[in-house]
Amino acid sequence: MRFDVVIVGAGAAGLFCAGVAGQRGLRVLLIDHSVKVAEKIRISGGGRANFTNRDLDASAPQQHFLSDNPAFCRSALARYTPQDFITLLRQHGVGFHEKHKGQLFCDRSAEDLIDVLLAECASGGVQRWQPCRVQEVRYGSGGYELDTDLGPVTAPELVVATGGLSIPKIGATDWGHRLAQQFGLRIVELRPALVPLVFDEDTWQSHSHLAGLALPVRIETGAAKAVTRFDEDLLFTHRGLSGPAVLQISSYWHSGTPIHINLAPTEELVGALKRAKQSSRKLLANELSALVPARLADAWLGADPIAQRAMADVPDRALQQLADRLHRWTLMPSGTEGYRKAEVTAGGVNTQDLSSQSLQARQQPGLYFIGEVVDVTGWLGGYNFQWAWASAHACAMALGRLPG
C-alpha cells in the first residue's frame, strides 16, 4: 500500500501531526506497536493531562527547555502557541482549568484530550494501524519502504514520533533513536529527566521515616553562574526525594554533583528563633515545629539534647547553625529512579541534524523527527506536551512539499 506519509508513533506528537497532515489533504498512515492509543497522555497529570502552559515564552525557549541547542525549538514554538492549542480544545468543547504557574489541565479527564486528537485524525481521513510493529525501514527510489506486521507500505515521507525511553511498561522503546542512527543522524546522550532522586541506604536511613512528607522548598544545583533553582514542593520517599521541586531539578542534575535545598524558603529562621528566645518558655523542638513541619523538626533535631532545652538556654551560635543547615541542606544523590519513573527522556536526535522549520533531517530527504524523540526537553508543567503540539504542527505543515 502507498501513502503520502507514514507516521510511526501514536502518542501526542504523532496523533496531532497525523490529524493536521490529513486535513491538509495528505493520505496518512499512523502506526503504533502498542494496543492502546496515547497511553502516556492517559496517565499524565494525574489522569487529567497537563496539556500546555500559559507561561511559555517562545522568544526565550532556554527558560523552559533543555537541549544542546536551546534555540532550536524557538521556531516551532513561536508558530504554534499554547493559545493555538487552547483554541482547538475549545472548538471541541473540552473544559480546562489552570492549577499552578500557568499549568492547564482538562476539567474531566485526559480521555477528552485523546478524543480530540482522534477526532482530528478522523477529520483528516487518517488510517491507523494499531497494534502494528515496523520490522524494517528502507529508503529507495520510491521513498520509504516499511515492513510491518500488517504488510509492506511505502511513502515518500516518514515521520518518527516514537518518544523516548520513559515508562517502558507502557511501551517506550529506542526504536526512533535506532532509526535515526540508521540514516546517519547523531544522538545526544539519553538520560532520565523529570525523575525522582535516590540516595544510598546509609545516607538515607535517617530520613526514610519521613516518607510522605511534603513541603515547599527552594532547590538548586550547579556551580557559580550555572546554578539552576526552582521554588516548588518537595516530597520525601522511602528511597529519596520526589515532588515537583525534585522532578524539575533532576533534569539539570548531573551524577557526582550535589543538590542544595532550602527547607524553609519563606522564613528567616535565625531571626525567628532568636526572637522566640527572648520571650518563649517552650523547648527548641516545639519552637522549630512552628516554623517547619513537626515531622521535619523532630527528624532534624533527632536525639540532640539541645532539642529538649528551653529556648532561653539555647546559645545563639547553636540557633545560627541550626538555621544555616535548614536553609542549605546539601545532599549528594546516588542516582535517579531511572526510566521506570521518569516522565520524559532528556537527549535524543541531535537538533544540528534537523531543520528547525520543518523537523526534517538535513541529509535525508523526507525523514522527520518530532516530539520527545528529539533533543528538546521541557520543564514539568505542560511544556513537553506543547513541544509535541508545536513540533508536530511544524512538521505537518511541511509535509507534501518534497521536490517533484
Secondary structure letter of residue 381 according to DSSP? T
Query: Tens digit of pLDDT for each residue in 245-267?
Result: 999 999 999 999 999 999 999 99
Please state whether beta strands 187-193 and 344-349 pair in parallel, antiparallel, or not at all (unpaired).
Answer: antiparallel
pLDDT at 404 over 60: no
Class of domain 196-337 as given by CATH = mainly beta
100 contact partners, CB below 8 Å, separation of at least 6: 381
Q: pLDDT band at residue 189, thresholds of 50, 70 and 90?
A: very high
Q: Which three cell numbers stand for residue 86?
A: 487552547
Query: Please, is 140 exposed, middle or buried when counting C-beta atoms within 10 Å of its C-beta (0-12, 13-18, 19+)?
Result: exposed
pLDDT at residue number 307: 87
Query: Tens digit of pLDDT for each residue in 122-150?
Result: 999 999 999 999 999 999 998 999 999 99
Share of the chain above pLDDT 90, in %: 93
Pairwise CA distance, residues 381 & 396, whole Å: 25
pLDDT at 152 over 60: yes
Query: Tens digit of pLDDT for each residue in 279-315?
Result: 888 999 999 999 999 999 999 998 788 888 999 999 9
Pairwise CA distance, residues 249 & 193, whole Å: 9
Q: pLDDT band at residue 7, thresholds of 50, 70 and 90?
A: very high
Q: What is the dihedral of CA 168, 169, 172, 175, to 10 degrees?
A: 90
Domain ranges of the chain: 5-192+345-398, 196-337
pLDDT at residue number 225: 80
Query: Tens digit of pLDDT for each residue in 163-175?
Result: 999 999 999 999 9
Fold that domain 5-192+345-398 belongs to in CATH: FAD/NAD(P)-binding domain (3.50.50)
Pairwise CA distance, residues 1 & 208, whole Å: 57
Q: pLDDT band at residue 403, thresholds of 50, 70 and 90?
A: low
Secondary structure letter of residue 12 according to DSSP? H
Query: Tens digit of pLDDT for each residue in 319-376?
Result: 999 999 999 999 999 999 999 999 999 999 999 999 999 999 999 999 999 999 999 9
Amino acid at 74: R
User: What is the SS3 string spanning 155-213?
Assistant: ECEEEECCCCCCCHHHCCCCHHHHHHHHCCCCEEEEEEECCCEECCHHHHCCCHHHCCC
Query: Tens digit of pLDDT for each residue in 98-115?
Result: 998 999 999 999 999 999
Mean pLDDT of 114-121: 98
Mean pLDDT of 40-56: 96
pLDDT at residue number 355: 98
Share of the chain above pLDDT 70, in %: 100
Lowest mean pLDDT among 82-86, 104-108, 202-206, 228-232: 202-206
